[in-house]
Structure 1
Amino acid sequence: MNATERTPADLLSSALAADPARPLVTFYDDATGERVELSVATFANWVAKTANYLQGDLAAAPGDRLALLLPAHWQTAVWLLACSSVGVVAEVGGDPAGADLVVAGPDGLDAARACSGERVALALRPLGGRFPQPPAGFADYAVEVPGQGDRFAPFAPVDPDEVALVVGGEELTGAGIVARALADADAAGMPAAPRVRSALPYDSWQGLSYGLYAPLAAGGSVVLCRHHDRLGAEAAADREASEKITFRAPPAAS
């Protein structure tokens, strides 16, 4: 980390400058058999398109509150970094009724309708596929985002000392996310440029840190596993070997 890396978006910019071709987020869904691997460059491109959509079409501004009703998923990681890029506060599992806009997966659509602002739905289908029929009252992320620009510049500078994330009732600034992610990586004994396997949900700081922020801050990558409990022990061991895992996230805190 250097002095210019004050937000998660800054960390992503540094990773892109250092080695755009290396893997950053690998996602498995063991309920569907899906595997997606995104290099730093591909992930950053998704973030740029999503940030342009958020800032442009959705007219979101720094300080706006976005209720994020999504599971641990590579597209959730994209939205978290897009919010950081714009300065929008990502409220993980937040109350849509009190949010300026909401982003939801299939399981969160009913709750998301309480939001009076813009509503975006994600099908969470393999390869970022769209809904067969867009949910009424929602924009389909997979339809809206591909045509967005590949480069992003915020209309207003993002203040790293403003609140950027709310999770588990705790508010964190952009600078606080970076500092805490680095501290987590150090305290956990992550090796240099770790390849982290995480099966934790994204509903707590622990899950977000091991499943995104700490590997990014430490110059590494994450293998994000959803429905990992459906994988047998032998298959799990084979995956760790094939993915060259160097650090395994601990079980969720009870």
Structure 2
Amino acid sequence: MNATDRTPADLLSSALAADPGRPLVTFYDDATGERVELSVATFANWVAKTANLLQGDLAAGPGDRVALLLPAHWQTAVWLLACASVGAVADVVGDPGAADVVVSGPDSLDAARACRGERVALALRPLGGRFPQVPDGFVDYAVEVPSQGDRFVPFSPVDPEEPALIAAGREFSAAEVVERARAEAPELGLTGPGSRILSGLAYDTWDGLNAGLFGALATGGSVVLCRNLDQLSDEALAKRIESERVTVVRR
């Protein structure tokens, strides 16, 4: 991270320049047993491909609203940074009927059909797997994203003062996301590089987004993002905290 970073995309660029090989997001789904670890470089590559899909194939640009009907998941984190890279507004669990693009998990496809714009479906299967059959009216993210470019350049510069995120009805500019993540880092226990936060919080509030992504990104730390953490025993959680070298827990 650099003091001059004004957007979440800037934070990711700085992390990539500083130490591309370090872990950034480690994801667990305790309903399926899935574990995925993404280094800064791997995460940034997914973000670039997704941003190219969003800007190119889906024709989204600065100010367009992208409703993310997704749980706390590593692919959701990718979409949040892809929106930030394009300059689109990530509306977390937002109204698909008011969105230009909707990105839906398998459990919210019916609601997502209210979007009159482009619709993207994520199977959220282990290893980024595809749907056995593409849902009607959607494109399958896992089919479309691999062929996208590994580098992303926005058609228009992203304005840090423009809206970038909507969480629980609250709108944040890109600069505000960065500033608030930095300001709240001490409260989360994120003290800088080496800090590793385990979060079992949903992505439907600022607190969940900050604990599950933005706080670590803003401080040079990393996140262990856990879905269905309530299915894990206290003993198993303690072992995970130890094995993943977690320094702070939010659940």
Which category of TM-score, normalised to the shorter sequence, fits these structures? over 0.9
Quote the Cα distance in structure 2 between the aligned partners of 1:129 and 1:46.
Answer: 14
Secondary structure at 1:149 match in 2: coil
Report the Cα offset of residue 184 of structure 1: 1.2
Quote the Cα distance in structure 2 between the aligned partners of 1:243 and 1:191.
Answer: 17
Report the Cα offset of residue 248 of structure 1: 1.1
Aligned counterpart, 1:7: 7
* TM-score, with structure 1 as normaliser: 0.97
Quote the Cα distance in structure 2 between the aligned partners of 1:124 and 1:229.
Answer: 19
| Paired residue type of 1:171 | E
Secondary structure at 1:150 match in 2: coil
Quote the Cα distance in structure 1 between the aligned partners of 2:110 and 2:245.
Answer: 39
Secondary structure at 1:81 match in 2: helix
- Structure 2: where are the runs of 5+ without partners? none
Q: Deviations over 1:9-58 (max 9, x none)?
A: 00000000000000000000000000000000000000000000000000
- Structure 1: where are the runs of 5+ without partners? none
Secondary structure at 1:238 match in 2: helix
Aligned counterpart, 2:141: 141
| Paired residue type of 2:140 | D
Quote the Cα distance in structure 1 between the aligned partners of 2:119 and 2:71.
Answer: 17
Q: Is the 8 A contact 2:188 2:248 kept in 1?
A: no
Aligned counterpart, 1:208: 209
Aligned-residue RMSD, C-alpha: 0.8
Over the matched positions of the two proteins, sequence identity in percent amounts to 72
Matches within 5 A, 1:1-254: 1-193=1-193, 194-249=195-250, 251=251
Q: Is the 8 A contact 1:16 1:44 kept in 2?
A: yes
Quote the Cα distance in structure 2 between the aligned partners of 1:112 and 1:118.
Answer: 10
Task: State the number of aligned residues.
Answer: 250
Q: Is the 8 A contact 1:25 1:39 kept in 2?
A: yes
Quote the Cα distance in structure 2 between the aligned partners of 1:225 and 1:215.
Answer: 15
Give the 4+ runs in structure 1 shifted more than 4 A: none
Q: Is the 8 A contact 2:28 2:224 kept in 1?
A: yes
Quote the Cα distance in structure 1 between the aligned partners of 2:189 and 2:73.
Answer: 25
Quote the Cα distance in structure 2 between the aligned partners of 1:232 and 1:186.
Answer: 28
Q: Is the 8 A contact 2:46 2:78 kept in 1?
A: yes
Quote the Cα distance in structure 1 between the aligned partners of 2:199 and 2:188.
Answer: 13
Report the Cα offset of residue 189 of structure 1: 3.3
Secondary structure at 2:177 match in 1: helix
| Paired residue type of 1:210 | A
| Paired residue type of 1:174 | A
Report the Cα offset of residue 192 of structure 1: 2.4
